[in-house]
Amino acid sequence: MTKLVAAASTSTATETANPQHLAAYHGREKALAVLARRLPMALDGSGDAEGRTPLHLASARGCLSTVRVLLADDYAVGDVRDRSRQWSAVHYAAAGGHAVVLRALLTAAAGRSAALASASVSAAVEAADSTGRRPLMLAAQNGHEEAVKVLLEAGAQPDATDFNGLTSLHRAAACGHVACVGQLLSAGARPDIIEPRLRRQPLHLAAAGGHVDAIARLLDAADIVKVSNCFADSVDACGFAPLHWAAAGGHVTSLNLLLSRGCRAGRHRLNWSRFSLLHCAAAAGREACVQILLQHRAEQHHQGKSTQSTVSSSDAVRVFPVDIRDCRGRTPLHLAAAGGHPRVAELLLRHGATVDAVDCRGRTPLMTATAAAASARAGWGSANGAHVARIEALLSALIKAGAASVEARDPYDGASCLHRACAGHKSEVALALLKLLPDVGRLVESTDNQGRTPLHLACAGALPDVAVALIQRGAPLFAVDAAGQVPALACTASRPAAECLQAVLDAMLSAAAACGGHQRRGGRC
């Protein structure tokens, strides 16, 4: 008892309601037995601040001897739920992977009534918590093989779903617990079961996590039970197939496995934006996956030309067209440029990507890259040396591949890539562009549909280093935009302030001119 008091003074693991909870949590079965004789009523279903009984705590900790004491003296109710998650003692034991404790709890449930033993055990293993999760789901998602085995032997249903439609197999596959996946499949779980909300199968979740062994087990099981031929090609509610998830996640081994098992990559598009596999991999900067997809495209094209296989030559060419468009007209090169992935952009260009392709807004990859980088889009990082080198590498690759795209204009507002770079919040982009372009005379003098030059935008964005660089390159200082302002006036925050500055500048110039004339006549100012 002295040890128990000492534990109470130092325990931070749980806020206990009484000494019995402390004894159960710390596995002090002897102290618990003493307390049971002295305080029998306090132990019957009493809970702590979260509604957990001593049996909950002992089950969560895996203290078999303590659980036996509680069950033997019949002052612990096994089906009592806590208040926070509606977990029973079986939930706690399953989540912690305590297989021997699970057996003890299920044996106790069966022993309460010989006539209702089967129903009692079934109720214990199929009890759902506040989100519909069964004990089997908790054991499977945490990778507890022995606990999964115990629950399946006790009659747990492998295809039972929670309130979101997820099964134990979904959870085990998503976490990559291949042994649990195998146990569930052997117990009759269907590999092609679909959760209704997002329409995802366990294979989608395994591919998203890059769990190649789980993917292989699911594909093998699908072959054994002879599910639909399109099992591996099935798409979720967003139009993603397992291949999309593997490509977007950069899971090279999983992508290779799915392709080698006959997944038909060329069919897939996202329903709402028509993303191809190349779009997914390029947008995420997955260079290795882009390389695999392009190589697969080349092999399929060669196979279609040289053999009379099931893949025709025309179909093979369409497997991964390098300039395939999404619903916004963007190619994979556009997405690689927008995400700031120079190595992916270079790879696509080497495989024939069109550098001056325009999307539905008329933007080229170079314009997309400058706009995204200058506006500090996610994925570009902070303004350090590596970041600047990354910008320069991407812009250099795009400029070298197609110098003509430098002069391209946005048909909506007439902006060039230099306008986009100067309109953002990062001076590194415009400086890199000016550094890479040997002849920017026409570009620095160009105006958008509002008559603004790049210098107007640099002044408006408070980018002094960019403004200096533009002036050194010959940017016109007195160019007037549609609002009647020269670049110097663009530095002001409002139109009235610009008018005040204009008046002051006019007066200063007039005074300077008068002073110059007076000095020429021998006078003083």
What is the spatial distance between Cα 459 and Cα 444, in angstroms, rounded to a whole number? 13
Q: What is the pLDDT of residue 199?
A: 92
Q: What pLDDT, on a 0 to 100 scale, did the predictor assign at position 39? A: 60
Are 431 and 383 spatial neighbours (Cβ–Cβ below 8 Å)?
A: no
CB 79 within 8 Å of CB 125:
no
Q: What is the pLDDT of residue 275?
A: 83
Number of domains in the chain: 1
CATH number for the domain spanning 203: value is: 1.25.40.20
How far are the Cα atoms of 13, 395, 465, 469, 491 from residue 472, in angstroms, in the given order? 66, 21, 11, 5, 18
Q: What is the mean pLDDT of each run of 10 residues along the chain (525 residues)?
A: 46 57 70 65 58 86 86 67 88 95 89 63 88 96 97 94 96 97 95 92 96 95 73 85 93 93 64 78 94 81 50 44 90 94 95 92 92 69 68 90 80 91 88 86 90 93 90 91 88 76 78 66 52
Question: Rounded to an integer, what distance in angstroms lies between the CA atom of residue 323 and that of residue 356?
Answer: 11
Q: Around 297, how many Cα atoms within 13 Å sit in the side-chain half-sphere? A: 22
Task: Please say whether the beta carbons of 24 and 58 come within 8 A.
Answer: yes
Residue 276's domain spans which residues? 160-281
Do 195 and 164 form a contact (C-beta atoms < 8 A)?
yes
The Cα 231–Cα 225 span in angstroms is 11
Looking at residue 7, its pLDDT comes to 46
Residue 387 in domain: no
Phi-psi region of 261 (alpha: psi -120 to 50; beta: other; left: phi over 0): alpha
Question: What pLDDT score was predicted for residue 128?
Answer: 92
Question: What DSSP character marks residue 239?
Answer: S
CA dihedral 215, 216, 218, 223 (to 10 degrees): 140
134 located within any domain: no
Of 21, 27, 22, nearest in space to 9 by CA: 22
Check if the beta carbon of residue 40 is closer than 8 Å to that of residue 69.
Answer: no
pLDDT at 522: 52
pTM for the whole structure: 0.81
Q: Is residue 248 in a domain?
A: yes
| Residue 231 maps to a domain | yes
In a domain, 13, yes or no: no
Specify if 371 maps to a domain.
no
Residue 265 lies in a domain: yes
What string of DSSP letters covers 358-415?
A: --TT---HHHHHHHHHHTT-TTS--SSHHHHHHHHHHHHHHHHH-GGGGG---TTT--
Q: Rounded to an integer, what distance in angstroms lies between the CA atom of residue 394 and that of residue 333? A: 11
What is the pLDDT at residue 301? 55
Task: Provide φ and ψ at 165, rounded to 5°.
Answer: 85, 10
CB 342 within 8 A of CB 285: no
| In-domain check, residue 517 | no
